[in-house]
Amino acid sequence: MRIGIDVRPFLKEETGVGVYLKNLLFSLSQVDDQNEYYLFSASWKDRFPLSKVPPLLKKRFRHFRLPVTLINYGWYHWGWPPFDCFFGRKMDIVHSPTPIVIPTFGQKIITIYDLFFLREPKLADKTAGQFFRKRLKKSVDEAQAIITISRSSAQEILSFFPEAEKKVRVIYLGIDAAFWTLADKEKKAWSRFKQEQGLPAEYFLFVGAFEPRKNLPALIKAFHFLQQWGREEYLVLVGRQGKDFPQVITLSNQLGLGKKVIIKDYTSPAHLRYYYHGAKALIVPSLAEGFGLPLLEAMASGLPIIASQTPAIPEVAGEAALYFDPRQPEDIATKIEQFLEQPNLKKGLVRAGYQRVNSFTWLETARQTLKVYQELGP
């Protein structure tokens, strides 16, 4: 069976979709030695690092020196050229890592992480809010299968597209739990990293893009409540600077938290581990999540979680998190204070996290995805 996949999401920074796709393909290399994988990449400026090419037994990888915008415009506006043409042979399946189908002569699979851009188009990022929203219905109709990453997302998909019920498959994301542990020999490097980054001795951590859906202004307001209550706590925000970045800076300064809110840009997974191991807890204030990979990263790192009760988050974190109403900054602050005042609560969250994270592996993600390919294949 010939399976085509667009691997551009992990050409450069590995966030969100890129993390999912890279780990899926590397894990498929461990469970599938029968099928042929055709991996497509394109960029005018960047070259795909050979170290990132998944070690699939049967594969053909091609990187084209073509502008990303040209490929996207052709595929998503004109439905041309077919993926198959780039490799000179017909695909049996082409799996798109986005909600929009890739043109092909074979079967089409799309991946829908959540539908926040349909529910809250004004708060969604530009690509999702304007581009995906206009084309999603046609894409759902054309796809033979829709992979999504939580039961919550599946329910949301069916609320908008009930006719797609037989197409939807729920496949959880995974994690390499061993990677996120810190060996004793790494403690010096970890300590040196904290010094180099100017991190405080103790802090709360947020990991993710500075986008409206992540609800960072509410989190900043919550830390203002804590300050008013006599709590001098630090907050470290790690992630890509998105649409809400200017508001986060302005609000932090207006509320007198300029020195308490520390902002760090996107970093490699190897360094992200150090942020987790230096924190008191991970805080996830999102208004919407399809899954939430930082939840797994925190659990694997032995870090307690304080999180929004948005549907997919309790589905993933279970009893490993303390939950709050994300639209109520005072409730966020109250839960943080509860966490600070109850040492046994922290121990319980960490213990529950270690137990729960074992349920999520990339190998299982790969096995379940391979089943979908086999269902659709010849």
Residues of the chain with CATH 3.40.50.2000: 2-174+361-376, 177-357
In this prediction, residue 184 carries a pLDDT of 86
What radius of gyration do the chain's Cα atoms show?
21
- CATH topology for 177-357 is Rossmann fold (3.40.50)
Domain at 2-174+361-376: CATH code: 3.40.50.2000
Written as tens digits, the pLDDT of the chain (378 aa) is: 999 999 999 998 777 899 999 999 999 999 999 999 999 999 999 999 999 999 999 999 999 999 999 999 999 889 999 999 999 999 999 999 999 999 999 999 999 999 988 888 877 776 666 678 788 999 999 999 999 999 999 999 999 999 999 999 999 999 999 999 998 889 899 999 999 999 999 999 999 999 999 999 999 999 999 999 999 999 999 999 989 999 999 999 999 999 999 999 989 899 999 999 999 999 999 999 999 999 999 999 999 999 999 989 999 999 999 999 999 999 999 999 999 999 999 999 999 999 999 999 999 999 999 999 999 998
pLDDT of residue 127: 66
> Residue 126's pLDDT is what?
66
Q: Can you give the pLDDT at residue 128?
A: 65
Do the beta carbons of residue 56 and residue 37 sit within 8 Å? yes
pLDDT of residue 129: 60
